[in-house]
Amino acid sequence: MLRKAKKEATRTRVIEASRALFEEVGYQETPVRAIALRAAVSVGGVFTTFEGKAGILAHIVSEHRAVLIDEIAAKAPTLTGRIEEKLKAVIAMAHRSEFPRLRTVTAYIGTSYGWSKALEEEYRALHRKLAETILAILADGVKSGEIARDTDLEMLLEMISSVYQRNYRTALHAGLTIEQLDERIARQLPILLNGVRP
């Protein structure tokens, strides 16, 4: 029992140290040694419960995204208006939640291209509820006649997701404000949705 408590305390220190360093200096610029030093653990102690630095990053972002995804799932059924407006509202919720951690979120997106199969499975499990929520909005668009019946909704969701993620990279490197980020997606959604109009 004592060993388990000690391991959990180490894990918590590693998470907190990593979260701070990833935002302060960036994910790529943070060596594991710096995490260990900030967390007051050995370098080996950093890896006792995580699959490398990418695993720590995935945990940090996933922890926050789990709450965001629940909020979006609860709010989505109450949204009114055209499909474009509903999607903008959902994405604006995500922006409000993730923009304050822009460096970390962007690192998470970038790291996802090379992480392990296990981390990818965790990512897919976490985001399944969000995918279902957005697919339900898109399905409503089919019912209302705003989206063509023969539209591959999974593909449309992938395209929206790709644009959403790319916008974070643009925001980070171009120094966009959250308002500019919202404006960018507001210009992009009509272009995406025009391709699936009846």
Side-chain half-sphere CA neighbours of 178 within 13 A: 12
Report the chain's mean pLDDT, rounded to a whole number: 93
Alpha carbon of residue 94 to chain centroid: 8
What is the domain extent for residue 182?
54-194
| pLDDT band per the 50, 70, 90 thresholds, residue 183 | very high
Same domain assignment for residues 9 and 70 = no
Same domain assignment for residues 93 and 153 = yes
Residue pLDDT, tens place only, 102-140: 999 999 999 999 999 999 999 999 999 999 999 999 999
Alpha carbon of residue 78 to chain centroid: 22
Is residue 63 scored above 80 in pLDDT? yes
pLDDT, position 51? 78
Same domain assignment for residues 74 and 126 = yes
Q: What is the CATH number of the domain that holds 3?
A: 1.10.10.60
Q: At 119, list the tokens.
A: 């981390």
Is residue 1 scored above 80 in pLDDT? no
pLDDT, position 187? 96
Residue pLDDT, tens place only, 4-59: 888 888 899 999 999 999 989 999 999 999 999 999 998 888 888 787 899 999 99
Local structure of 40: helix, strand or coil: coil
| pLDDT band per the 50, 70, 90 thresholds, residue 171 | very high
Same domain assignment for residues 12 and 96 = no
Same domain assignment for residues 119 and 166 = yes
* CA pair distance 164, 123, nearest whole angstrom: 16
> What single letter denotes the amino acid at residue 122?
E
How many domains are there within the chain?
Answer: 2
